[in-house]
Chain A
Amino acid sequence: MIDVWRYVTANWVSVLRLAGEHLQIVGTAMGFALLVAVPAGVVLTRAPGLDTVVLGIIGILQTIPSLALLAVMIPFLGIGFKPAVAALFLYALLPIARNVYVGVKEVVPELVEAAKGMGMTRFQVLTRVQIPIALPVIIGGVRTAAVICVGTATIAAAIGSGGLGSLIYRGLQQMRTEYIVTGALLSALLAILIDSTLGAIERWLTPSGILSRQRASK
């Protein structure tokens, strides 16, 4: 452990750079995933029949082992940053889309009817009623996706994307435990950090009415 500490303090610049690369991959992939999966989840709530099919297809992606999916990207996107982002993007789709779908669908139909009957447009019903109420569930999905991304990004180092995973691989090659431990510890810390930050954002964004009700029902 002392070796780890000595290593980190001596090389904190490069370690930080690796963490930054890691975050970049995760961030880019999550960004694209949100852009696609959130509208997709919403659209699926209005497409009975299609919803199970699409969610099923995206679900199959989850079952593909990460290294395999990363490798499959290589012929199309080369190695490094791009295929890593692509693979992470695919992994993040399901948790986000499914949670958006379930969250919005779970909103009690009377609320939607009342909103419609009062003269809200479909968009207003979605943005003022359905999504705010579904927000805790949606963010839960985002958190799951983010944690998956951090973990998979660690593996992506194998195809040259950099990040904290590369530290682990280097450590394995050179038989240096301090590299391995540093890489592993920091990726875990990163995952925890991102998860707690998203948790805090969830609490910040959740409309108080729902929050207090959740507390009350506990």
Chain B
Amino acid sequence: MLASRFAAFVTTIPVLGEDGLLIEFTSVFKAYPDGTHAVDGLSLHVARGEIFVLIGPSGCGKTTTLRMINRLIEPTSGRILVNGSDVLEVDPIELRRSIGYAIQEVALFPHMTVAENISIVPGLQGWSAARQRSRVLELLELVGLKPDRYRAKYPHELSGGERQRIGVARAMGADPPVMLMDEPFGAIDPITRTRLQDEFLSIQAKIQKTVVFVTHDINEALKMGDHIAIMRRGKLVQCGTSREILSRPNCGFVEEFVGADRLMKLLQILRVSELMTRDLPTVVIDEKPQAILPRPSVKGLNLVLVVDRLGRLKGFVPSTELLKNVARPLAHFLTPVRESVSSNASLAEALLRLSVNGLDFLPVVDGDQRLQGVLTLVSVHEEIQKTTSRAVA
């Protein structure tokens, strides 16, 4: 009896979030009087510092889910914890002031300047005027807008892209640990959108906010999300990293939702750095060929890479040539390298370069031409085949 009492006690202790979980949904339902379930038994968790994407077809409940986090909508049952506290048990005003909120329409207040818009939540929280001012400057810099030019402007004087940036800056106003974003890059042209996405990712790399992001664009989800939750008719269908979802969709709906170009997308996600070989057969350009000892060999690669004393790539020599020209300086008979790739590049880009140039390998170099590794065509093929066979299974 004591044990069951103890068990009951333990399960009611609130999760303290020390394990890094910032947001937790446990069996959350949102039902409307007419019987429809906008959210149907949703359980998920968002880790501290990650970008968590909610995606699905229209009406799947992703926006409802988002708005339950800051209690603009209340669940009909289930529990939602934010930073260890149940959203229904804390003051909703304080809750919302501690969560950044950016909606699709941006909705900058037209009667306020950019600076006034950004300082809304800091103002609500009682920050001093000086602190508000410096925060506005800081945030304008962060979103890539010159503070002197923009702080006194009115929203109607801004372009769509500028408004989206200010919307994000406003959501970050009081430096909230959590941010909710509902299609923040939805209503802009694709070029500006890509740029804003990239900039947001680089901002995120610096500040590591916990972001819950709603989108209907699978490519945006795959690009932006550390974890992606695919929803359908209020239920969670699959939740995982972009890699997991692309390589192991758990049902036909997900496979279809991700798109017929699923493998291509996977290749665009995988980086050269993940597949390249770092253990390389290299030789320094002024070494005497006789001094060349047996080097590590790479599958599918019958050559030796020639670098200078600083590690910069100078060219390569097929192994057979090396044996024939033992007496000659390397510089005389090395083949210059036509194509190389950066370790950050996607496998898709690498594959394209290999194919376009009819090569079986690509040296991987950094910005200063220093050799970091080698990517062979053979390894790319093997990776593709591994992925396909996994998905089929």
Contact = CB atoms under 8 A, between A and B. Distances in A.
Contacts of B67: 117
B121 interface: yes
A119 B94 CA distance: 7
Contacts of A118: 96-97, 101, 120-121, 124, 170
A130 to B, nearest CB: 10
B103 A213 contact: no
B107 A113 contact: yes
Nearest to B100: A118
A213 B156 contact: yes
Contact of B93 (A119, A129, A212, A216): A119
A207 B110 CA distance: 9
Interface string A108-125: 101101111111110010
B105 interface: yes
Interface in A93-110: 108, 110
Interface residues of B, number: 27
B97 A207 contact: no
A111, A114, A132, most chain B CB atoms within 10 A? A114
Interface string B39-83: 000000000000000000000000000010010100000000000
Contact of B107 (A111, A209, A210, A216): A111
Nearest to B98: A119
A205 B28 CA distance: 47
Contacts of B120: 118, 120
A209 B72 contact: no
Contacts of B154: 208-209, 212-213
B101 A117 contact: yes
A108 B96 contact: no
B281 interface: no
Interface string B84-118: 00000000011111100101010101111100000
A22 to B, nearest CB: 35
A119 B107 contact: no
A139 to B, nearest CB: 14
A117 B109 contact: no
B155 A209 contact: yes
B96 A111 contact: no
Nearest to B71: A117
A133 interface: yes
Contact of B105 (A110, A115, A120, A207): A110
Given A113-B107, A114-B103, A212 B124 contact: no
B156 A117 contact: no
Interface in A177-216: 207-210, 212-213, 216
Interface in B103-143: 103, 105, 107, 109-113, 120-121, 124
B155 A117 contact: no
A111 to B, nearest CB: 5
B124 to A, nearest CB: 6
Contacts of A111: 107, 109-110
Q: Is the interface of A mostly helix, strand, loop or mixed?
A: helix
B72 A210 contact: no
A118 B100 CA distance: 7
Given A119-B94, A121-B93, A208-B154, A113 B72 contact: yes
Contacts of A110: 103, 105, 107
B172 to A, nearest CB: 12
B111 A210 contact: yes
Nearest to B110: A209
Interface in B126-174: 154-157, 170
Contact of A108 (B95, B107, B157): B107
Contacts of B170: 118
A124 B103 contact: no
A60 B389 CA distance: 78
A114 B124 CA distance: 14
A133 B112 CA distance: 10
A119 B124 contact: yes
A158 to B, nearest CB: 44
Interface in A121-179: 121, 124, 129, 132-133
A108 B103 CA distance: 13
Interface string A63-83: 000000000000000000000
A124 B112 contact: no
A213 B109 CA distance: 12
Contacts of A212: 154, 156-157
A218 to B, nearest CB: 13
9 contacts: A110-B105, A110-B107, A117-B101, A118-B97, A120-B124, A124-B124, A209-B155, A213-B110, A213-B156
Given A118-B121, A212-B154, 12 more contacts: A110-B105, A111-B110, A114-B103, A114-B105, A115-B109, A117-B180, A129-B111, A207-B112, A209-B155, A210-B110, A210-B111, A213-B156
Interface of A: 108, 110-111, 113-121, 124, 129, 132-133, 207-210, 212-213, 216
Q: Give the 3 A-B residue pairs with the shortest CB-CB distance, closest first.
A: A119-B97, A207-B111, A119-B96
